[in-house]
Amino acid sequence: MSGEGGIWVLADPRAGTAAQALGIAERLDRPFRAVPLEWGPLARLPLPWPGLLGLTARAREGLRRAALEGPWSRVPPGTTPRIVPEWPSLVIAAGRRSAPVSRWLRRQGARTVHCMRPGAAAADFDLLVIGRHDHPAPAPNILPILGATHRISPAALAAARESRPDLAALPRPRVAVLLGGAVRGEGMDPAEAAAIIGRVVPGAGSVLATTSRRTGAAAAEAVAARLSGVPGLLHRWGQEGPNPYAAFLALADAVVVTGDSVSMLSEALATSAPVFVAGTPPDAPRHMALRESLFAAGQAAPFAAFPNAPPRAPLDESGRVAAVIRDRFLAG
């Protein structure tokens, strides 16, 4: 691998997108640097060329500062020392907006790993990690995966399991319910949220429910009302205190997740628990294709099958991608 600048993760401001790149980097067992990105107005355009135009001035400065904080260049004795940019030797990023930045860094000597379709110049990446539900055409630099990469690793699940003995003491079967909401809209329909909980409760010893940014206050209230008197815990998005999300997954005997979130569906698959996809199927073809790919692979079942589903093995696509990167770019 060329270069001396190490591994950079371009961290998109959207947590779910950033998690795809961070989840891979955390599995490499190598030091890496997370470089935060911040989008300016031009990032909305399908920029077809390598460059930093989509970044704000502050983000461009942060990128250059990260390079200058590398080691000083080696110079012969008696010459004037100078600081030169140490651009990364490997860049991991996710999302269309970060693609021009990755391509620009490739021009500086980096190898590039990119999650999701880059929007342009697919051949201008060393490795593209693309969900099967996006139907990527076969190519030497394309690695199809089931779902998306994420940060819920076996080690993270083990640590989360040990951190919450109170949840481990709850009656079994413990059913985790992960509620999302419409990608564009006013939150989840409260009646639908309550109906999901209503179907879960009779088959659960306890319920570990969490809402997300898109669920909305009205749906969260409906869930709270339906869970009144039911053993378990409801975590509302944005509430104070530690987030028990990883512990919910680690301790669940079954996971019910709404099909509007690629991230939550993929994270649920990191467990060995049966996964049931709930909620009104979204109109987005990508989300429908993701559901079907999970069902076809035997990694998830429709909510109508709850609580009965065949056993399944944990899915570790982040670990698999990291192994490919180590073999192709970090060996030696």
Q: Count other C-beta atoms under 10 Å from residue 38's C-beta.
A: 16
Q: Domain check: are 235 and 286 in the same one?
A: yes
pLDDT at 3: 43
List phi, psi (to 5°) of 195.
-65, -35
Question: Could you tell me which of 223, 196, 188, 306 has the C-alpha nearest to residue 233?
Answer: 223
The CA-based diameter of the chain, rounded to the nearest angstrom, is 79
**Cα-based torsion angle of the residue sequence 189, 195, 197, 198 in order, rounded to the nearest 10 degrees:** 160
Structure confidence at residue 75 (pLDDT) = 47
Torsion from C-alpha of 30, 115, 212, 198, nearest 10 degrees? -110
What CA–CA distance (Å, rounded) separates 99 from 53? 11
| pLDDT recorded at residue 310 | 83
Tens-place pLDDT, residues 52-74? 999 999 999 999 998 887 644 44
Exposure letters 188-216 (e unless 16+ CB within 10 A, then b): bbbebbbebbebbbeebebbbbbbbebbb
The contacts of residue 30 (CB under 8 Å, 6+ apart) are 6, 7, 330
Same domain, 324 and 275: no
Tokens of 309: 């589903």
Q: Are 299 and 158 in a shared domain?
A: yes
CA distances (Å), 250 to each of 15, 27, 176, 314, in order? 21, 18, 9, 11
Closest C-alpha among 115, 114, 127, 89 to residue 330: 89
Together in a domain, 141 and 160: no
Tokens of 1: 């691998």
Flag whether 271 is in a domain.
yes
**314 within some domain:** no
pLDDT of residue 72: 41
What integer pLDDT is reported at residue 4 of this predicted model? 53
pLDDT of residue 2: 40
Contact by Cβ (8 Å): 1, 89: yes
Residue 2 lies in a domain: no
Evaluate whether residue 311 is within a structural domain: no
Per-residue confidence (pLDDT) for residue 311, from 0 to 100: 84
Q: Are 150 and 257 in contact (CB under 8 A)?
A: no
Are both 48 and 138 inside the same structural domain?
yes
Give the count of domains, the chain: 2
Which residue reads 């809209």 in tokens? Answer: 185
* Residue/partner pairs of 183-187 with CB below 8 Å, 24 or more apart: 183/214, 183/260, 183/282, 183/284, 185/214, 186/216, 187/214, 187/215, 187/216, 187/217, 187/218, 187/219
Residue 67 is part of a domain; what is its CATH number?
A: 3.40.50
Query: What digits encode the pLDDT tens for the residues 217-266?
Result: 999 999 999 999 999 999 999 888 889 999 999 999 999 999 888 999 99
Contact (Cβ atoms closer than 8 angstroms) between residue 258 and residue 178:
yes
pLDDT < 50: residue spans in the chain: 1-3, 71-75
Residue 68 lies in a domain: yes
If asked whether residues 133 and 262 sit together in one domain, one would say: no
Selection from 49, 17, 26 nearest residue 115 by Cα:
17
Domain that holds residue 143: 7-150+319-330
Residue 313 lies in a domain: no
- CA dihedral (95, 118, 26, 8) in degrees, to 10, reads -100
Rounded-to-10 torsion of CA 306, 156, 1, 11 = 80
Q: What is the number of other CB atoms lying within 10 angstroms of the CB of residue 165?
A: 10
Residue 213 sits in a domain whose CATH number is: 3.40.50.2000
